[in-house]
Amino acid sequence: MNDPRSQAEILAAIGAAREDLTSSLADLTAAVEELEKRPLLTDEEKQALEEQAESGELGEDMQALVERIRRGEDSWEQVFSGQSPNGALLQGHLTRMVDEHQEDIALAFEELIEEEEAKGNFLLDDVPPSD
């Protein structure tokens, strides 16, 4: 079956798609740059996290981690970015948080997928099923 569109129409459609892609990439780059400018944690968030950890509420590992951070041996930025040798001290807390909030995480993920699909972005269409 022959495509009724002319070569000029096809080239114009390709050009428009390329412009859309270029624009989308520029928007994504700008969004990433904006996120990189923001601090990982605000001063208030750091203080709250440190107070919870110091109290023992978040476990002994987090207590030890806060002590090292407060002594200047480490920083939250290094810990959360994976650059800290003390990052393993965070793992127990993160595991507990994921376990505790598993249903909320799943619901938020479903909502994100639904929002993207409403925009026409079918993120999971090409993901192979897990066995």
- Per residue, the 3-state secondary structure of 64-98, as one string, reads HHHHHHHCCCCCHHHHHHCCCCCCHHHHHHHHHHH
CA–CA gap between residue 118 and residue 11 (Å, rounded): 28
Predicted pLDDT at 65: 92
pTM of the model: 0.53
Predicted pLDDT at 23: 86
Q: Is the pLDDT of residue 107 over 70?
A: yes
Q: Is the pLDDT of residue 1 over 60?
A: no
Provide the greatest CA pair distance for the chain: 73
Domain-wise residue ranges, the chain: 9-38, 43-102
Could you read off the pLDDT of 71-101 as tens digits, one per residue? 999 998 888 888 899 988 888 888 888 999 9
The answer to whether residues 61 and 89 touch, using CB atoms and an 8 Å cutoff, is yes
| Burial (0-12, 13-18, 19+ Cβ within 10 Å), 42 | exposed
